Chains A and B, each alone.
Chain A
Amino acid sequence: MKALLICEYRQGKLLESTYELLAFADVLAAERVMLLVGTEAAAPKFDGKVYLADSGVYGEFNPDLHKRLFLDVVQKEHPDYIVFIHSPYGWDLAPRVAAALKAAQVSEIIGVKEGKFEVPSCNAKLRRLVSPRSAQVVLTIQAGAFSPQGKPAGTPQIEQVSIEAGSSRVEFIGYEAAEKKEVDLAKAEVIVSAGRGVGKKENVEVIAALARALGGELGATRPVVDAGWVEHTRQVGSSGQTVSPKLYVACGISGAIQHIAGMKKSGFIVAINKDKDAPIGEVADVLVVADVMQFIPALLARLKK
C-alpha cells in the first residue's frame, strides 16, 4: 500500500498540518510519498521521497495547475491513496483529482475501523463508516484528528516535478489577509460566547452582561458574526481566533468542529444549550440543558448577589 500525501504551503511556509498526513499514513500502515508545491527550503522533515513542484512556476494557490501536477505524480507513483487535509485547499482539490481519476473520495476522516473510514455526519451527531469501491482512493482527513508523535525529523529525498504549465483557467491574483484583531481574545481569562441559539441581536446584550459579570470578554460563533450581531474581531474558531481562557461559556452554540477547534483548549467549559445532544456536550465540563434567555438572567441574578 502506498499513500501520496499532499502538503500544504502558504506564503513561503509549509503548514504544520502537513505532518498530520504522515500520522494518518502510519495508521494505514502505508508507504509514504509526499508532494509539495512550494520551495525546497520549506520541504517537510521526513525520511522519504518528496516530489517538489516550484511554487514560483505553478503558483501557491492555483487549483487548476496543482490538480494537473498531482495527476502527473499519481501516474508516476501509482499510489493506492491520495491524501489531503480536509481544509479549504484540500476540499477544493480532492474532488477534482478524484473525478479525473474516477476514484472514490472519502471526506473528513476521523478514524480507520475495520479497514473502512469513519467520518462525521450531521454536525458530528452521527458517524458513518465508508468503504471505497475503486482501486485508487482520494481521502481528506479532519484537521487535528491524527496527531503526529514527537517532533518532525528527517531529510527528504527531493524529486523535482514539472508539467507543461500551459494556460490555467483560473488566475490567482493574490491573498487577502484576515482582518486585524482589535480585540485580543487570547489574553482573556474568561470568554462568554454567543451562538445562533441566542435568537436575535438584542439578546446578545444579555450574553455580554454575563461576560462583564465574570470579568471577561464577549465571543461569538461565525453565523452570529456574519449576521452582524457581533463584530468579526470576536469570532472564535478556525476562521476566527483560537482561545484558551480559564473559563469558556458557550451560549446557544451547537459545537461545530470549526468552532471547537478554536476553544477546546479552554481550562473549563460550560455550555448552555436546549439540545441535550448538541455536540458541544462532547467538550463541555458542564452542559446546562436550558433556554439561554431564561437561564442567563437567572445566573446573572446569582452572580450579582
Chain B
Amino acid sequence: MKILVCVKQVPDMESRFKVNSEGVWYDEKDLAFKLNEYDEFALEQAVRVKEQLGNTVDITVLSIGPDRVVEAIKKGLAMGGDRGIHIKDDHPWQKDPWQIASVIAAFARDKNFDLVFTGLQSQDRGSAQVGGILAELLGFACATTLVAFELNGDLVTVRQELDGGMCAILKFKLPAVVTCQMGLNTPRYPTLPNIMKARQKELLAFPVTNFIGPKNLAATERMYLPEKKGHGLVLEGDVNEVADRLVGVLKEKTTVLR
C-alpha cells in the first residue's frame, strides 16, 4: 500500500505578525515555523496504518515551500514516514489552494497512491480546500474533518465531525483522500533514535516548475492587521498589582465577588 501525506509548515500562531512590503502576505522574518498542527494528525494516522499492516506500507511525506519546509518533512520521517518529497517553491503563498492541489495532483497522478492524508486546514491560511480539490483532481473518494479512521482491507470506515460534536459515519473504498481533524489521534513525539534514522531516509527535491499546470483562480489583493475592536481594559505589569486591580474591576463590574 502506498500512502501520501501532504504537510505544510506554518508560523507559530503565538507570533507577532507584520505584513510584508508588498502588502499581500505576512513578513516571514523573525517568525518561527513549525509543522501545521492538523498535519500532525495526518502523519500519525498514516504511521498507524503502517503499524497495522506492516512493512508493505510505504509512506511518502510531501511539502511545498522554501528550504525551511525540509524541517517539517524530516519531522514526518522521524514520526515514521519512509521518504520525503520537497517541492521547492520560494513563494508558495502566491499560489491559491487550487494551484497547490494541482501541483500535488501532478506529482501524485502516476504514482498509484492508495491513500492520501492531509490536515483539515492550514493554521495560517485556513482555507480547508486542498484535500477536497486534490480528491477531485485524482478522482478519489474523499472524507474530511475525520475524528476516527479504520481500515479493513480496501474498505475505510470513518467518523466525520459535524457541528456541535455530532458525527457522520461513512464507509468507502480505496483509493481515497482524507483530511484530519484535531482529536483523531495523539501524535507521537519523534524519539532521538528515530530522528537519527530519519536522516538516512530518502529526501528528493524538485522545482515546483516541474509540476506547474493551471493558473491561480483567486488572488490575495491585500493582507492587513484587523482593526482593534477590543474595547477591553488591558492590564500588564507586576502580577500582584494586576491581581489587585482585577479584583477591583470584578467587584465594580460584576456581582460574583459580593
Contacts and interface: CB of A to CB of B under 8 A. Distances in A.
Given A95-B136, A276-B234, A286-B249, A173 B171 contact: yes
Contacts of B235: 286-289
A295 B241 CA distance: 10
A287 B159 contact: no
B189 interface: no
Contacts of A131: 218-219, 221
A105 B166 CA distance: 26
B129 A105 contact: yes
Contacts of A173: 157, 169-171
B246 A92 contact: no
Nearest to A67: B136
Contacts of B117: none
Contacts of B191: none
B216 to A, nearest CB: 6
Nearest to A61: B168
B33 interface: no
B153 interface: no
Given A284-B230, A288-B242, A290-B239, A96 B142 contact: yes
Contacts of B135: 96
Nearest to A245: B256
B123 A122 contact: yes
Contact of A123 (B13, B101, B157): B13
Contacts of A288: 235-236, 242, 246
B136 A298 contact: no
Contacts of B128: 86, 91, 95, 107
B17 A170 contact: no
B39 to A, nearest CB: 15
Interface stretch (A31-39, A40-48, A176-184): A176-184
Question: Does more than half of chain B's interface fall in helix, strand or loop, or is it mixed?
Answer: mixed
B96 interface: yes
Interface in B1-54: 11, 13-14, 16-17, 19, 26
Interface stretch (A75-83, A145-153, A201-209, A267-275): A267-275
Interface in B139-182: 141-145, 157, 159-173, 182
Contacts of A161: none
Contacts of B193: none
B144 A170 contact: no
B223 to A, nearest CB: 5
8 contacts: A94-B129, A98-B129, A105-B217, A125-B225, A128-B222, A176-B169, A178-B167, A189-B256
Given A92-B160, A96-B142, 6 more contacts: A61-B168, A61-B170, A96-B132, A176-B166, A226-B183, A298-B239
Interface of B: 11, 13-14, 16-17, 19, 26, 96-98, 101, 121, 123-133, 135-137, 141-145, 157, 159-173, 182-183, 186, 214-226, 228-236, 239-240, 242-244, 246-247, 249-250, 253-257
Interface of A: 10, 15, 61, 63-64, 86-89, 91-96, 98-100, 102-108, 116, 119-134, 169-179, 189-190, 214-216, 222-223, 225-227, 235, 238-240, 246-247, 254, 267-270, 275-278, 281-290, 294-295, 298-299, 301-303
